[in-house]
Amino acid sequence: MKKITFLAVLIVCGLVAFYLYIDTTPPVISWGVAEDDSINHALKVNVADDIGLKEVCYTLTGGACTGEERCSRELQTQSFDLPIDPDQCVVNSEPLEVKITVKAVDSSLITNKTDASITLTYDNKAPNLMTLQGSLSLKRGGAGVVLYEVGEVPSETGVLLGDLHFRAFEFEPNKYLSFYAHPYNVKADEFKPRVFAVDAAGNLRKIRPGSRTASHTYRKEVIELNDDFLETVKDKMMATSTRPPLDVFVEINNKVRQENYQKIAQICQNTEQKKLWEGAFLRNQGATKAGFADSRTYKYGSEVVSKQVHLGLDIAGINNTQIFAANHGKVLFVGDIGIYGNVVIIDHGYGLHSLYGHLHQTNVQEGDIVRKGDVIAVSGETGLVFGDHLHYEMRISGVAVNPIEWFDNVWVLNNIESYLPSVGEEK
C-alpha cells in the first residue's frame, strides 16, 4: 500500500513538473511603433519568450520588397532584437508603405508560435520648405516676422535660434507665419535663425528666413549698494529671513529673478492663433528712467556681487498714474510675480505679449478683452522697486524684445504689418 501511495505521489509530481515544463505562452512581439506610423529609420523589433526563443522570421512587403522570408534560427535566448531596415524597399524618394510580418517559435517541449503584422510609412525625405516674405532687417534686441510654406503637414514647425523655439501659426493651408527675435544677448555674427519643419517621420529641414541683422549697443551702469538699501530690500521682499541682507539681495536679484523670468516665459506660451493688435503700440505717459537691455553691475564696497540685465522700460509719471493697454488683446495673467510685483500680461496673438509691472492696482481680470488705450491698472511700487513707476515689457514667444520698435508707426508698418496676411485678424 505504501508503495502504491508513493508511486501515486511520484506520478502526480511528475505530471505537475511536466505541466510546468510545457510552456503554453507564445513569444511576445514588441514593435516599438504603432500601426500606420511614419518612420525614417531602421526598426529593432523585440521578440521575447520566458522559456527561450528557437526561431524568428520576418517578411517585408512594399516597393522593391516582395515578401521574401528571412530567419534567424537556433537562437537560444529569451530576448532577441530583430533588425529590419525598410530602406531596402525604396524605389524612389517618395514615401513608401511597407508591411512587416514577424513570426516566432519558442523552445518549449511543445512549441508555441506567434505571428503579427504592422503597416508603416517609410519616409526619409525632409519636407519641402520655402520662405514667402518677411522682415528684411533686424537689430540686436529687435524683432521680425517670416512667412513660409511647407510642402506637407508638419508635426512641428517654427523658427529655431540655438535653444530658442519661436512658434509658427498656420494662416492658410500649409502656409505659416512666425514672429522671431534677435535676443539682446546674442551677438550679430552669432545670430543664425532657421525656419524649420519636421514631418511625421521625423525628417527635419531648415532654411534661412532671409533677413539680415545689425549690432546695437545698450547702456551699462554700475549700481553701488549700501547697508540701508540692502536692509530695505530685505524688509520688503524677505522680512522673515535670518540671513544677512546682502545674501538676501543676491538671492532675490539672481535666483528669484530667474524664476520670475521662467514663469513669465511659460505664461507667454499661451496665445491666440490670430492677430489681435493693430498698428503701433501706445507708450504710457511718463519719463523713461531705465531702458531695455540696460546692463547692471551691482557692487558692495569694491566687490561685484551681482550682474543682471533690465528686460523692459521703466516709465515714471506722477504717483498712481493710470496705465492703459498698449494695444488690443486679451488679458492673459493678473497677479503677483516676485520682483515684478503686481503684473498684467496681455496677449496680442501670434505669440506677441505686453507686460505691465509694479502696479498698485489692477482694473482687469484674466480673460478680459481690451482695446488699445483702455485703462487696465494704476502704477505703483510693488515688487523690487522703491519708487512709483511702470515696468513695461514686450515678448515674442516668451523672449523679451525692445519695446521702442513697437511704439514706432513706421517701423511697425514697414517691418511687420506690410508682410502679414489679412486673414485671421481680430476686427
Tens of pLDDT, residue by residue over 71-81, are: 988 888 899 89
CA distance 106 to 25: 9
**Mean pLDDT lowest for which of 8-17, 47-56, 122-131, 343-352?**
8-17
Q: What is the pLDDT of residue 427?
A: 41
Report the DSSP pairing between strands 220-225 and 295-300. parallel
Q: Give me the phi and psi of 154, to 5 degrees please.
A: -85, 155
CA distance 227 to 234: 11
Q: What is the pLDDT of residue 118?
A: 93
Mean pLDDT along residues 255-269? 97
DSSP type of residue 281: P
284, 377 in Cβ contact below 8 A? no
CA distance 419 to 427: 18
List, in sequence order, every beta strand (DSSP E) within 140-282: 143-150, 156-161, 164-167, 169-172, 175-181, 194-198, 204-207, 212-214, 220-225
Q: Is the pLDDT of residue 5 over 70?
A: no
CA distance 289 to 129: 44
Q: What is the pLDDT of residue 9?
A: 58
CA distance 120 to 201: 10
Mean pLDDT along residues 371-393? 96
123, 40 in Cβ contact below 8 A? yes
| Higher per-residue pLDDT: 205 or 91 | 205
Residue tagged 566687490 (cell numbers)? 303
Q: What is the pLDDT of residue 2?
A: 56
Report residue 40 as a C-alpha cell. Answer: 525614417
CA distance 129 to 153: 11
Residue 424: band (very low, low, confident or very high) from pLDDT cuts 50, 70, 90: very low
Q: What is the pLDDT of residue 102?
A: 93
CA distance 229 to 293: 23
Q: Is the pLDDT of residue 195 over 70?
A: yes
Give me the domains of the chain, ranges plus CATH numbers: 24-122 (2.60.40.10), 129-214 (2.60.40.10), 220-419 (2.70.70.10)
**Mean pLDDT lowest for which of 63-77, 279-293, 330-344, 362-376?**
63-77
Q: Give me the phi and psi of 10, to 5 degrees please.
A: -60, -40
CA distance 275 to 272: 8
What are 151-165's pLDDT values in tens digits? 999 999 999 999 999
pTM: 0.87
**What residue type is assigned to position 419 of the chain?**
Y
Mean pLDDT along residues 272-295? 96
The CA distances from residue 38 to 34, 95, 199, 362, 364, in Å, are 9, 9, 9, 50, 47
Mean pLDDT along residues 12-26? 62
CA distance 94 to 124: 8
Q: What is the pLDDT of residue 21?
A: 55
Q: Give the DSSP H/E element, type plus range, for residue 99.
A: strand 96-106
Q: Is the pLDDT of residue 109 over 90?
A: no
Rg (CA), the chain: 32
Q: What is the pLDDT of residue 182?
A: 97
Q: Is the pLDDT of residue 17 over 70?
A: no
Mean pLDDT along residues 363-379? 98
Q: What is the pLDDT of residue 7?
A: 60
Q: Give the DSSP H/E element, type plus range, for residue 3.
A: helix 2-21
Q: What is the pLDDT of residue 255?
A: 96
- Sign of the Cα pseudo-torsion (201, 202, 208, 214, in order): positive
CA distance 235 to 229: 10
